[in-house]
Structure 1
Amino acid sequence: MTNLTGNRRDSDGVRRQVVDIIASRTLYHESYLLPDSHFEAELGIDSVILESILASVREKFSLVAPLPSGLTTIDDLVRAVEHAADRDLASDAATPAVSAPPVPSAPSPSERDAALLETVVTTTMRHTQYQRGQLAPGADFESELGIDSVVLASIVADAARELGLPPSLAATVTASTLHELVEALRPHYEDTRYENTPYEDTHDDGTRPVDQAPAGHRTSPAGAVPGEPGAEDMSTAWDGRSMKDFVEERDGDLFAKTRGFGRYLRRRKAERLYWYGMPLHSRSSNRAVIFDELEGREREFLMFASNNYLGLANHPKVIEAICDATQRYGATHTGSRFIGGTNMLHKELERRLAAFKQRPACIVYPGGYAANIGAISALVKSYDTVVVDKLNHMSIVDGARLSGGTRRIYQHNDMADLERILKRSDEGPGGKLIVADGVFSMHGDICDLPEIVRLAKEHGARVMIDDAHSTGVLGRRGSGTAEHFGLKGEVDLELGTMSKTLAGMGGFVVGEEEVVEYLRFYSNSYVFAANIPAGVAAGLIASIDVIESEPGRITKLWRNIRLLHSQLTDAGFDLENTASAILPLVIGDERKALEMGRAVRARGLYCQTVVFPGVPLGDARLRVSVTSEHTPEDLETAAGIFVEAGREVGLLPSAR
């Protein structure tokens, strides 16, 4: 480990070691890691990777003093390391050789105000990419700073957490400026007790014993479940951690983190809050039979967690095609597309997908995730730039990281921010690729494709749109985002998955023939992976046949979407800006979202409860998927269930 204390500290040496850590965590060449490089906007380093970098830096330099929040550039981090080391050195010099740890005194009111304001400002910087000097206390969040309600909820939740306040304040605190936000948090902050002694003991999973927890945050030991030791306070205590708390746990035993998370997971399951991975015992249609592993029995649910948007997974022609092809060609070819894994069905599928999307050529990957990773990493190299929407799917994020190119993130659907980033990238040595979801999978809104295309042409960038949740949903023929906006042929690459509307497995990219052929030879996730089975390919071809021959399925889907959307908004739920088959019930607080999911399931409806890492902390929600198979009665019943559950957990006012 490197120690910075003493007079021999080399500032250039600190910078070199910090850059080495960042390079090792991001795969960037050191020449791209400039002192003023913005972690998120220019380097594409999200909060998870940044936490990993900070943990490595603390370990590398043996830092005792914590690093401040709100670090946005490499220079910021280097200065913070030097400052933290100076504080450690001063602390060491002032501490007697043998003494009991002092009891901290309560901060004065002025110190509290300063700490409150600093936390609010640094949290806002972290969520918005603004610099400190741009955040005037009286600037309006929406009209002057472009901070919408979703981002503000994240700011409040993070600020509350850092101040030791309940993150649930995000659902109750309202403010239109930084000054108003500070004033709204002050009463809660002033109630916080400061007379607690330093924590001298922790559990082996990093949680504090109950009798040492801060006032107002008493918890039972992590993972306590009914019938196990330490479960006596289970009915009233709340373990406020999320899955994010286990990302950077460190121990000499690689599996130590799994034991801590295991206890946490058992508790969530015992509280009936985590209900992920329960097996279906039937087809997934408008209703589905699911085996409730907590109760040990089968239960029938109204199914609103399926991406089977047009009901093709249950269509007799699709099922028949799969069975016939499997009988003829066998279960699989056990080979890659290049070596023994291709038959005429695969070539026909690519031809049909290209025709359906009205593009010259198509390449089929083993999965949608593989398509994003393979296409982006094949096209973007270390001297190129990939520009992505902040809310893109993780497969796009990972593809951008794997490429080794310069990664820049623009604020969600913020075309002014995209334009600013493109202007700053114009002088770069390589090419530029803009990648965005057509429909954003956890929000349901649609990318601003006309502006993306316009800005791409203006700045010489290429565009790839991920139509995972657009295929079969958007456009008169259901071919996706480009058709929806009347921009067929204007988007360079259209990507899609075949595990949703198309009712199979795999992913695909359509575009110009030369580009597609290049991808065949340079996409590692295509060249070095087994091809999809022939039976699956046959079912996908049949699905395209049904979409083209039964356009009424799309009409019915949109009738269902509009009906349930109106029922939920009329009831008072926040559905953000959804314009697709995905209806998000935005809740914000993770605990409240989990309790809402539990209340919905208890009433016989199954939808997705989405928490970190599916969405950022403070942005938890239920994700409701509408299909053409839902009946008007299903939708009416579902709306009633959501209203009853919302009232039960306090999201909606009680019925008068």
Structure 2
Amino acid sequence: MMNVQVIDHIATPDAGLQAYVLDMFQTHTGYARADLVPDADFESDLGIDSVTLATTLAELYKALGLSSRQNPQHTSTIALVLAHIGQCLEQDGKTPALPQRPCVPEHAADALTTALIAAYSRHTGYQPSDLVLDAELESDLGIDSVTQAAVLSELPKLLGIAAVTFPTGLTSIAQVIAHLRPLVHLEMLQPAAPAIAMPPATEEKQYSEFIDKLGHADASALSVAAESTADDARTMRDFVNIPHRDLFHKAREFNTFYQRKQQEQLYWYGMPLESRCSNRAVIYDEVSGKRREFLMFASNNYLGLANHPEVIEAIVKGVREYGATNTGCRLIGGTNVLHMELERRLAKLKGRQACIVYPSGYSANLGCISALAGQNDLIFTDALNHMSIQDGCKLAGAARKIYPHDLDGLEKILQKHAGHDGGKLIVTDGVFSMHGDVVDLPRLVALAKQHGARVLVDDAHSTGVLGRTGSGTTEHFGMKGAVDLEVGTMSKTLAGVGGFVCGDEEVVDYLRFYSHSYVFAATIPAAVAAGLIAAIDVMEREPQRISKLWRNVHHLRGHLLEAGFDLEHSASAIIPVLVGDDRKTLEFGRAARARGMYCQTVVFPGVAVGDARLRISVSSEHTVDDLDAAAQILVDAAKEVGVAVRG
């Protein structure tokens, strides 16, 4: 936030103050300046809720040197906020001397640059002057691959050029400009007068024209560039955003692409099971119209607890005793004694003071991160973290710093922001869900202590897998209690549904009242909680399940490494078989399925384009015969489609 000098004498709001207030609302809401109409109603026109308004007013009071005061009850527009701020300044005897910020940044020296800045500003909520051309999109600006894909998809039509294939690895706006510059029309490249030499009205008009072109261009000019071909080289990334007046246009385009993939038996996601999911499962193949038994290597039932008689009986008993579901959220009639017992058991398993249970693992990350981090804070998140983490970071409104999947990168970014005076949170998966590797927790915690940051570890694929008792990542490293927050899901090893956060009691109590995905959502049924408690009982009583799981992991890994597959740095029950190319990966998965092995084919958005892989999940229920058969299937399938393999 820019510094504001305050002079002690009475004054009324002027154009400078109005610009400053608009700038503050733009920062807190992500709206373009042109959309912040002074008389627009906060709720009905702009969708600005009371929490966002209160946060913005609090920062305005602080920035303008005003004494704290109760917010007015009926401030429903920016015009009324301006009037209120003017009254506050008069009451306190102060007039702000405010710096002006140009609408078009000085680094927009030509129309191409201005257009790209406008596009990135609209998609990210950043002010144009904050979009430094050489800034790293991920580590500096927190712009992830999905947002980048959305921006790049609309640029060709916006600039009036043919469809463009953007190379992977563009890490800054400057690199995007350099790639586009030879392709745009010559008239776009005529230098504009420097922003500082233009009258403010001209600056605003030029910038608004680009915003208007982005948001209101003719539909025919913003449709998909090329018709699909028989050999469609597009990936799912190409359908993230297709600018068009019809909101559903992108859905129709994707449907054509999706149906072709289904006809080729390359996309077969969501096939329905017709049996329990164990080491084998009966699945109805909607592509071929047949049902058959598969070797199951796509399940997160790591310890086989989903089929344990004790777990099933606990659920049945819970339904009979407490009914089918809850009738309210946890704070209003939705808490059962079994929820409280489950939270106690999870806290004990993790070695923490307290636990809060959410409706899902996704909502646990979403609610926890967004409740604890805010506008003045920084969140450092691994580029490979689960989407629930990334979405939680976005929802928080904190500045998101995406560090590359190595801790050297994290250290550099932490050093860069060492002087930040807000809160800092480092968020990481314990086991990375599509890569299977384990975070270097000792070094990460050491970096956090050095830079005054809190640490959140997501144990979705660690609970029941890592550690002698299955407690997770901290137990694996002998560091129980050494991180601030441990998040988990109960839909994997623990054989139920729901998510949880474990930590200090005062933090958990805060989450119970400020975490929206807990406060405003019904939680898991009591019967599910009963089954989860039983699953924890079995896991603690039968540690041999974890031992068997790891014997199976080592057995299959040995086969696959001997065959020459690239398993990256996996060190968990998740074994990736890296291929890279989307098409070849899909063909590899199809060939494995035809031979009776069911595993996940992972392409964008599960991984970046060019990083496609098969994802193999191992469980304690697999037999040696299952593992040997799976290894042979993968070798044979790889040979069929041209994936490099030995044997």
**TM-score computed with the length of structure 1 as normaliser:** 0.73
Distance 1:416 1:44 in 2: 17
Which residue of the partner structure matches residue 401 of structure 2? 408
Contact 1:386–1:432 (Cα < 8 Å) also in 2: yes
Q: How far has the Cα of 1:75 moved from its partner?
A: 6.9
Distance 1:36 1:589 in 2: 29
In the alignment, does 2:379 pair up with 1:281?
Answer: no
In the TM superposition, what are the counterparts of 1:288-299 in structure 2 within 5 Å?
A: 288-299=281-292
Which residue of the partner structure matches residue 313 of structure 1? 306
Supply the AA of the counterpart residue of 1:553.
R
Contact 2:281–2:293 (Cα < 8 Å) also in 1: yes
Q: How far has the Cα of 1:207 moved from its partner?
A: 3.1
In the alignment, does 2:141 pair up with 1:43?
Answer: yes
Contact 1:466–1:495 (Cα < 8 Å) also in 2: yes
Aligned residues: 512
Supply the AA of the counterpart residue of 1:207.
A
In the alignment, does 2:371 pair up with 1:378?
Answer: yes
Which residue of the partner structure matches residue 628 of structure 2? 636
Which residue of the partner structure matches residue 250 of structure 2? 257
What is the RMSD computed on CA atoms of the aligned residues? 3.0
Which residue of the partner structure matches residue 475 of structure 2? 483
Distance 1:31 1:90 in 2: 20
Supply the AA of the counterpart residue of 1:294.
V
Q: How far has the Cα of 1:408 moved from its partner?
A: 0.9
Aligned match of 2:432 in 440, 451, 455? 440
| Cα distance change, pair 12–310 in 1 and its aligned pair in 2 (3 A) | same
| Cα distance change, pair 202–55 in 1 and its aligned pair in 2 (3 A) | closer
| Cα distance change, pair 58–443 in 1 and its aligned pair in 2 (3 A) | same
Q: How far has the Cα of 1:504 moved from its partner?
A: 0.6
Distance 1:591 1:611 in 2: 9
SS at match of 1:298: strand
Q: Deviations over 1:308-345 (max 9, x none)?
A: 00000000010011111111111111321111211101
Q: Deviations over 1:166-225 (max 9, x none)?
A: xxxxxxxxxxxxxxxxxxxxxxxxxxxxxxxxxxx999854347xxxxxxxxx42xxxxx
Q: How far has the Cα of 1:601 moved from its partner?
A: 0.7
| Cα distance change, pair 204–348 in 1 and its aligned pair in 2 (3 A) | same
Which residue of the partner structure matches residue 416 of structure 2? 424
Distance 2:188 2:442 in 1: 56
Aligned match of 1:627 in 599, 619, 628? 619
Aligned match of 2:546 in 531, 544, 554? 554
Which residue of the partner structure matches residue 226 of structure 2? 207
Contact 2:603–2:609 (Cα < 8 Å) also in 1: yes
Q: How far has the Cα of 1:297 moved from its partner?
A: 2.3
Q: Deviations over 1:530-572 (max 9, x none)?
A: 1111111111111100011111100110111111110111111
Aligned match of 1:399 in 377, 392, 397? 392
In the TM superposition, what are the counterparts of 1:152-163 in structure 2 within 5 Å?
A: none
| Cα distance change, pair 651–28 in 1 and its aligned pair in 2 (3 A) | same
Deviates more, 1:255-264 or 1:561-570: 255-264
Supply the AA of the counterpart residue of 1:636.
D
SS at match of 2:368: helix
Distance 1:645 1:73 in 2: 39
Contact 2:587–2:641 (Cα < 8 Å) also in 1: yes
Distance 2:599 2:448 in 1: 37
In the TM superposition, what are the counterparts of 1:57-456 in structure 2 within 5 Å?
A: 64=161, 72-73=171-172, 87-89=186-188, 206-208=225-227, 219-220=229-230, 238-412=231-405, 414-456=406-448
Distance 1:285 1:40 in 2: 40
Distance 2:160 2:221 in 1: 20
Q: How far has the Cα of 1:43 moved from its partner?
A: 1.7
Distance 2:106 2:154 in 1: 18
| Cα distance change, pair 653–428 in 1 and its aligned pair in 2 (3 A) | closer
Distance 1:654 1:81 in 2: 42
SS at match of 2:492: coil
Contact 1:66–1:84 (Cα < 8 Å) also in 2: no
| Cα distance change, pair 461–293 in 1 and its aligned pair in 2 (3 A) | same
Contact 1:385–1:405 (Cα < 8 Å) also in 2: yes
Distance 1:564 1:366 in 2: 34
Which residue of the partner structure matches residue 162 of structure 1? none
Contact 2:635–2:645 (Cα < 8 Å) also in 1: no
Contact 1:497–1:508 (Cα < 8 Å) also in 2: yes
Q: Deviations over 1:577-631 (max 9, x none)?
A: 1110001111111111111111111111100011111111111111000000001
Q: How far has the Cα of 1:482 moved from its partner?
A: 0.4
Distance 1:75 1:203 in 2: 24
Q: Deviations over 1:626-655 (max 9, x none)?
A: 000001111111111111111111224585
Contact 2:222–2:243 (Cα < 8 Å) also in 1: no
Q: How far has the Cα of 1:366 moved from its partner?
A: 0.6
| Cα distance change, pair 515–540 in 1 and its aligned pair in 2 (3 A) | same
In the TM superposition, what are the counterparts of 1:451-470 in structure 2 within 5 Å?
A: 451-470=443-462
In the alignment, does 2:510 pair up with 1:518?
Answer: yes
Which residue of the partner structure matches residue 121 of structure 1? none
Distance 1:320 1:444 in 2: 33
Q: Deviations over 1:87-109 (max 9, x none)?
A: 23479xxxxxxxxxxxxxxxxxx
Distance 1:382 1:32 in 2: 15
| Cα distance change, pair 65–259 in 1 and its aligned pair in 2 (3 A) | closer
SS at match of 1:521: helix
Supply the AA of the counterpart residue of 2:141.
L
Distance 1:76 1:292 in 2: 45
| Cα distance change, pair 74–298 in 1 and its aligned pair in 2 (3 A) | closer
Which residue of the partner structure matches residue 166 of structure 1? none
SS at match of 1:557: helix
Q: How far has the Cα of 1:51 moved from its partner?
A: 3.1
Distance 2:104 2:183 in 1: 15
Contact 1:32–1:406 (Cα < 8 Å) also in 2: no
Distance 1:494 1:30 in 2: 37
| Identity %, equivalent residues | 58
In the alignment, does 2:124 pair up with 1:26?
Answer: yes
Q: Which runs of 5+ in 2 are unaligned?
A: 1-31, 34-102, 191-219
